[in-house]
Chains A and B, each alone.
Chain A
Amino acid sequence: MSRQKKQTILLIEPSEIIAAGLKHIIDKSHEYEIINTIPHPGYYNSTQIKPDIIVLNPTTINYDERLDIRPYFCPGGDNITIVALTSSLHEERIMQQYDGSISIYDSATRIIQKLQSAVEDALQNPKGERGELSSRERDILVAVAKGNTNKEIADEYNISVYTVISHRRNISRKLGINSISGLTVYAIMNKLVDISELN
Chain B
Amino acid sequence: MNNIRYSKNMKLAQLIAADSELLSLLQRLDIKLGFGEATVEDICRRYGLSTELFVIICNIYSFRDYRPDADTLTSDDITHITNYLQASHNYYKQVCFPAIHDKIHSLVVELDDVSRHLIDKFYDDYDCEVANHFRYEETIVFPYIASLVAGTLAHDSEYSISKFEKSHSYIGEKLNDLKNIIIKYLPEEHSSPLRFEILKDIYDLENDLRKHSLIENRLLVSLVEKLEKSNE
Contacts and interface: CB of A to CB of B under 8 A. Distances in A.
Interface stretch (B39-47, B138-146, B172-180): B172-180
B125 interface: yes
Contacts of A62: 64-65
Given A64-B64, A178-B176, A179-B174, A195 B117 contact: yes
A2 B129 CA distance: 54
Interface string A164-198: 00000000000111110110111011100001000
B177 A182 contact: yes
B7 to A, nearest CB: 23
Interface string A114-139: 00000000000000000000000000
Contacts of B118: 184-185, 188-189, 195
B4 interface: no
Nearest to B214: A64
Given A185-B119, A185-B181, A189-B185, A176 B114 contact: no
B210 interface: yes
Contacts of A182: 122, 174, 177-178, 180-181
Interface string B154-191: 00000000000000000001101111110011110000
B122 A186 contact: no
B174 A190 contact: no
Nearest to B112: A189
A106 B53 CA distance: 44
A189 B65 contact: no
Contacts of B20: none
A176 B184 contact: yes
B185 A181 contact: no
A31 B122 CA distance: 49
Nearest to A68: B176
Interface residues of B, number: 25
B184 A64 contact: no
Interface string B46-59: 00000000000000
A106 B176 CA distance: 37
A186 B65 contact: no
Interface in B12-70: 64-65, 67
Contacts of A176: 176-177, 179-180, 184
Contacts of A179: 173-174, 177
Nearest to B177: A182
27 contacts: A62-B65, A63-B67, A177-B177, A177-B181, A178-B174, A178-B176, A178-B177, A181-B121, A181-B122, A181-B174, A182-B174, A182-B178, A182-B180, A182-B181, A185-B119, A185-B177, A185-B181, A186-B185, A188-B114, A189-B118, A189-B181, A189-B185, A189-B187, A190-B185, A195-B114, A195-B117, A195-B118
| Closest 3 A/B residue pairs (Cβ) | A182-B177, A176-B180, A177-B177
Interface of A: 62-64, 175-179, 181-182, 184-186, 188-190, 195
Given A181-B174, A195-B117, 16 more contacts: A64-B64, A175-B184, A176-B179, A177-B181, A178-B174, A179-B173, A181-B122, A181-B126, A184-B118, A185-B119, A185-B122, A185-B185, A186-B185, A189-B118, A189-B186, A195-B114
